[in-house]
A and B are shown apart, each in its own frame.
Chain A
Amino acid sequence: QVVVSQEPSLTVSPGGAVTLTCGFNTGAVTSGHYPFWFQQRPGQAPTTLIYDTSKRHSWTPARFSGSLLGGKAALTLSGAQPEDEAEYYCSLSYSGAYVFGTGTKVTVL
């Protein structure tokens, strides 16, 4: 069974930086897995922040960036704002399906 793992929770100070990761239990994540990153606030639908590893949508704040890091997909938040407190999910393409990560709860404190 394919599992995509993320840190359960991370805390960042206002104005600080934090990196979330997204890893496969089957091996390294590559650009061919087309990593996506989503933000979900309580009671709301997800919002797509990053697609195809590192591309930002027009609505994505510049403080969010995506990359590959040590065999995993990574989302870096630089200059955290109170409104960035949310759940973050990644997804990877695998064998014609999308597999979502377990989610990371980010607290800005």
Chain B
Amino acid sequence: EVQVVDSGGGLVQPGGSLRLSCAASGFTFSDAWMSWVRQAPGKGLEWVGRITTTTESETTGYAGPVKGRFTISRDDSKNMVYLQMNSLRIEDTAIYYCVTDRSTTATIKLSYWGQGTLVTVSS
């Protein structure tokens, strides 16, 4: 059974930093890209970014509003993916979801979502 569990949210001041974590299981993690998606209060879904596999050089891609401030990384030995968020702004306040992305060995693209972790940026 595929499971995705995200964590690490909390209250942070504008300009501060926070690192979110995502633990995945039930599939061959090293074969899978992973993405982060966020949802501001009362708003729609917004793709944040993704990381490819180690074989593909752990290439990352980001949405415009977070490029240069957010960094996604992974640790295949722990089946973990991380979202490092720096220079946080009030408009980054959202529930952040970790979600499985494309894989060469499983049909999991955008199919398994974490429960979400709330990040609140406020003074």
Binding site for B on A (CB under 8 A): 34, 36, 38, 40, 45-48, 51, 57, 89, 91, 96-103
Contacts and interface: CB of A to CB of B under 8 A. Distances in A.
B113 A99 contact: no
A103 B46 CA distance: 11
Given A96-B61, A97-B61, A97-B63, A48 B47 contact: no
A48 B111 contact: yes
B113 A45 contact: yes
Instruction: Tell me if B's interface is mostly helix, strand, loop or mixed.
Output: loop
B113 A47 contact: yes
Most buried by A among B61, B110, B112: B110
Contact of A100 (B44, B61, B112, B113): B44
A69 B114 CA distance: 31
A37 to B, nearest CB: 10
A98 B44 contact: no
Contacts of A103: 44-45
Contacts of A38: 45
B47 A45 contact: no
B73 interface: no
B35 interface: yes
Interface string B74-111: 00000000000000000000000100000000010111
B100 to A, nearest CB: 10
B115 interface: yes
Nearest to B113: A45
Given A98-B37, A100-B46, 16 more contacts: A34-B109, A36-B110, A45-B113, A45-B114, A46-B37, A48-B110, A48-B113, A51-B107, A89-B44, A89-B45, A96-B61, A98-B35, A98-B47, A100-B37, A100-B45, A103-B45
B111 A91 contact: no
Contacts of B114: 45
Nearest to A36: B110
A51 B61 contact: no
A45 B115 contact: yes
Given A97-B61, A97-B63, A51 B47 contact: no
